[in-house]
Copies of this chain bind each other. A is one copy, B any other.
Amino acid sequence: MLEDALRTVLRTAAAPTTCAGRTDAGVHARGQVVHLDVTREAYERTADVLGQRLVGVLPADLGLRSVAVAPAGFDARFSSLWRRYAYRVSDAPFGVDPLRRHEVLHHRRPLDVGRMVEASAGLLGEHDFAAFCRRREGATTVRTLLELSWARPPTEQQDTGLVVGRVVADAFCHSMVRALVGALLAVGDGRRPVGWPAQVLAGRERVADVQVAPAHGLTLEEVRYPPDSQLADRALVTRRLRPVRDLPSTEPGSAP
């Protein structure tokens, strides 16, 4: 969709993009970052009006926040330091605010957020997340989980009335966030003990009783990059850490 719009606006035969995090069908991305290379001619023809023209041809469910010339060394996928996702759940007895039903999961059992916070703490840091990933041949499933927190935002704050998970990692392997959330919801509603997600992690084997949470509660909120001077170095480091980079599952930005 975005590439179609770019081809139209840039008047080029192809407009291959690189994005920071690819998301499964149904996962939202409010903070997606995408780069592409353009010819100097196409750039000079459209620089000032590219954003407005793109908005004119993009479908209504695909938004644009800003357009800019990337600094030297920038790679939307490999230069990133971390990605932040939010998972939004409502355990209100009668379900989700209809205006937010496409981005909030309705969980039918009441959630004890304190238990979810406690269980999440045992998952932080660098681990082999194979138990929460769809494994692919030759791809590492080692990731560094930088933050995994849960809260009920207070009145007047964004997302008041919901339970919101905040998940930050250098990168995610396929279905990882949704598998972590699924395990933690089972702790939150009392079906599993607090120590269970850490046990599953330690097993390093995908287990059938981790239910992958539905896609529509998940939103990619932010991708963070280092200062401009470190962009190229960061991309080098990332490519070295995940060397089998031609396989989709090894990409830092693969679908979570």
Please give the residue numbers on chain A whose beta carbons come within 8 Å of chain B beta carbons, in ascending order. 28, 30, 51-52, 54-55, 60-66, 92-103, 156-158, 160, 219
Contact = CB atoms under 8 A, between A and B. Distances in A.
Given A102-B99, A158-B160, A94 B64 contact: yes
A60 B30 contact: no
Contacts of A158: 156-158, 160
A95 B65 CA distance: 8
Contact of A63 (B63, B64, B96, B103): B96
A30 B97 contact: yes
B94 A51 contact: yes
A62 B99 CA distance: 9
Given A30-B97, A64-B95, A65-B92, 16 more contacts: A51-B93, A52-B93, A55-B95, A60-B101, A62-B98, A63-B95, A63-B96, A63-B97, A64-B94, A65-B94, A66-B94, A99-B100, A99-B102, A156-B157, A156-B158, A157-B158
Contacts of A99: 28, 30, 100, 102-103, 219
A59 to B, nearest CB: 9
Copies of this protein in the complex: 2
A92 B95 CA distance: 31
A220 to B, nearest CB: 12
A215 to B, nearest CB: 14
A52 B95 CA distance: 10
A256 to B, nearest CB: 18
A51 B63 CA distance: 37
14 contacts: A28-B99, A52-B93, A54-B94, A55-B94, A61-B101, A62-B98, A63-B95, A63-B97, A64-B94, A65-B94, A99-B100, A99-B102, A99-B219, A157-B157
Nearest to A102: B99
B63 A94 contact: yes
Contacts of A157: 156-158
A92 B101 CA distance: 24
Contacts of A100: 99
B98 A60 contact: yes
A64 B156 CA distance: 20
A63 B55 CA distance: 32
A95 B99 CA distance: 18
A166 B121 CA distance: 41
A93 B141 CA distance: 40
Contacts of A93: 51-52
